[in-house]
Amino acid sequence: MSTFLKVILRNVIKGPSTIKYPFADSPAPEKLRGKIQHNPEACVACRMCEYVCAGGAIRLQESDDKKGVNFVVWHNSCTFCGLCEFYCPTKAIHLTNDYHTAHLQEDKYSFCEKTLVRKQRCSCCGEPIIPLSPTLVEKVYGKDGDEKGLSRMCRKCRRKALWKDGVFKL
Ligand code: SF4
Ligand code: SF4
């Protein structure tokens, strides 16, 4: 049997060697930089991601009802550079390995992720604040920082609490 026939026979028996995408899902490498995921619980609305974003894909704006800050990332403007994830001080942004970013032209303004970073009341004076994430409090004030409730205080009350303790950092 000729080599050519052998190849045909082998292919007929083994079936296609490529993935039938888009009819079957194609696995992506774990470290592929794909669609952004934002965790509003960890976000402190510092706007660092908006500042460093190479594609101008991120916007943070106070919500109309003043209950928090709207975080929006437009997937079609994102260049998957990873700067937002790298510079986020609280690890609130993560680039997933989801590469499904094809969309219709008319959907370009709705192809985005929107989350709300909610304001809370300061545990001392009641002023509305974006609470600090425990990760950030630990980074700045050490492991017992969150035990003192610093993450739920406004800047002024946090300063007072730190003066009282003899530790002044913000
Ligand atoms: S996602 Fe990170 S960098 Fe962006 S505003 Fe929130 S805390 Fe700051
Ligand atoms: S990966 Fe780069 S372009 Fe995409 S949102 Fe983050 S900073 Fe912007």
Take atom 2 of ligand 2 and give the residue whose Cα is closest. 81
Domain boundaries, the chain: 29-118, 119-170
153 in ligand 1 pocket by Cβ < 6 Å? no
Interstrand relation of 112-118 and 120-121 (parallel, antiparallel or unpaired): unpaired
Any idea which residue has 């709300």 for tokens?
116
pLDDT digits (tens, 9 = 90+) for 110-129: 999 999 999 999 999 999 99
Take atom 6 of ligand 2 and give the residue whose Cα is closest. 84
Q: Which two tokens stand for residue 165?
A: 């303790």
Res 158 pLDDT > 50: yes
User: What pLDDT is recorded for position 170?
Assistant: 47
19/25 Cα distance (integer angstroms):
8
Res 153 pLDDT > 50: yes
Residue 149 burial (CB count, 10 A): 14
Lowest-confidence segment of 4-18, 83-97, 141-155 by average pLDDT:
141-155
pLDDT digits (tens, 9 = 90+) for 39-82: 999 999 999 999 999 999 999 999 999 999 999 999 999 999 99
54 in ligand 2 pocket by Cβ < 6 Å? yes
Best mutation site among 38, 44, 94, 113 for ligand 1, i.e. most ligand atoms within 8 A of its Cβ? 44
DSSP 168: -
Quote the percentage of the chain above a pLDDT of 90.
58
Res 166 pLDDT > 80: no
13 alpha carbon – ligand 2 mean position (Å): 45
- Are 107 and 57 in contact by the 8 Å Cβ rule? The answer is no
Q: Hey, what CATH class is 29-118 in?
A: alpha beta
Q: Which two tokens stand for residue 38?
A: 């934002």
Q: Which two tokens stand for residue 120?
A: 């809370």
Please choose, from the candidates 77, 95, 86, 103, the residue with its C-alpha nearest in 3D space to the C-alpha of residue 34: 95
Best mutation site among 37, 83, 93 for ligand 2, i.e. most ligand atoms within 8 A of its Cβ? 83
Ligand nearest the Cα of residue 130 is 1
Render 125-142 in DSSP notation, one character per residue: T--EE-PPPHHHHHHHH-
| Number of helical (H) and strand (E) elements in the chain, helices listed first | 5, 7
